[in-house]
Amino acid sequence: MSLIRAKGLSVRHGKTTVLQNVTLDIAAGEIVTIVGPNGSGKSTLLRALIGAVDIHQGDISRKDGLRIGYVPQKLHIDPTLPITVERFLSLPCKVDPEAAKSALEQAGASTLMQRQMSDLSGGQFQRVLLARALLGKPQLLILDEATQGLDQPGSAAFYRQIEELRMSLGCAVLMVSHELHVVMAASDRVICLNGHVCCEGAPEVVASAPEYRALFGSGTQGALALYRHDHDHHHHAHDHKHEDA
């Protein structure tokens, strides 16, 4: 039984088509990663799935009562709005203080409870966002470059935690990531996106697909991607055209 399914999804911003004919299906408990160059519509796809974007064509169906935990790429909290981490965790639904405490501990942010959200560093902020997303006991966790602002050990710990959560909560994870080595190691399935789905499948399959190589270069199988943080520079004029697109 799939948790969420997008069929023939097209999204436009004004007259620009950002996503075209995207079909995607997330099953319970699987970890799916979306990779693609900047401007390929990764974030838009995630936002469409949570219902934040108007859909031009196609449709999205969710399992009844699907609980989604969403960790956005960036979240700016206006300094005029005073809010402690403790209060933030209880939005929009009040949570048990003990549960909040243990969620923060799990996210490695146990000392932050009384701090103001606007005073947190980027890494602390992401941990709090993750803790909040987990408190809702999600069936599907959606992460949009959630490790931005985390250092290497921090982001490794972050993904280990995701893996553990999948084990303990059984939740599916859909994420966008630029850290290709992590993607290749931790995902069940990889979707390579560039306005449309270029290719998808098990990490090994995608890594050797010509479409993927056209986007990310040929040397990026597995760990080699570790040192490439900005792969946008070496996808030479993405010119492969799909007959099915």
Partner 1 sequence: MDFLDSFLIRAALAGLGVALAAAPLGCFVVWRRMAYFGEATAHASILGIALALSFSTSIFAGVLVVALLMGWTVSVLSGRGYAMDTLLGVIAHSALAIGLVAVSLLQGVRIDLNAYLFGDILAVSRLDLAIIWGGAVLVIALLGWRWNALLTATLNPDLAYAAGIDPRREQMVLTIALALVVAVAIKVVGVLLIAALLIIPAAAARPFANTPERMATLAAGIGAFSAISGLQLAFLYDTPTGPTIVCLAAACFALTSILSLVRGSNA
Write out the residues near partner 1 by the rule CB under 8 A.
47, 50-52, 68-70, 72, 75, 77-78, 80-84, 87-88, 91-94, 116, 136, 142
Cβ 209 to partner 1, closest distance in Å? 31
Distance CA 41, CA 48 (A): 10
69 versus 123: smaller Cβ distance to partner 1: 69
Is residue 9 within 8 Å of residue 58, measured between CB atoms? Answer: yes
141 versus 182: smaller Cβ distance to partner 1: 141
157 versus 169: smaller Cβ distance to partner 1: 169
Cβ 39 to partner 1, closest distance in Å? 19
Cβ 206 to partner 1, closest distance in Å? 27
Partners of 34 in the β-ladder = 176, 191
Pairing of strands 31-35, 16-27: unpaired
113 versus 156: smaller Cβ distance to partner 1: 113
Cβ 19 to partner 1, closest distance in Å? 16
Cβ 243 to partner 1, closest distance in Å? 34
Backbone dihedral region for residue 243 (phi beyond 0: left; psi -120 to 50: alpha; all else: beta): alpha
Distance CA 185, CA 180 (A): 9
Distance CA 127, CA 146 (A): 9
53 versus 150: smaller Cβ distance to partner 1: 53
**Cβ neighbours of residue 145 under 8 Å, at least 6 residues apart?**
43, 73, 176, 177, 178
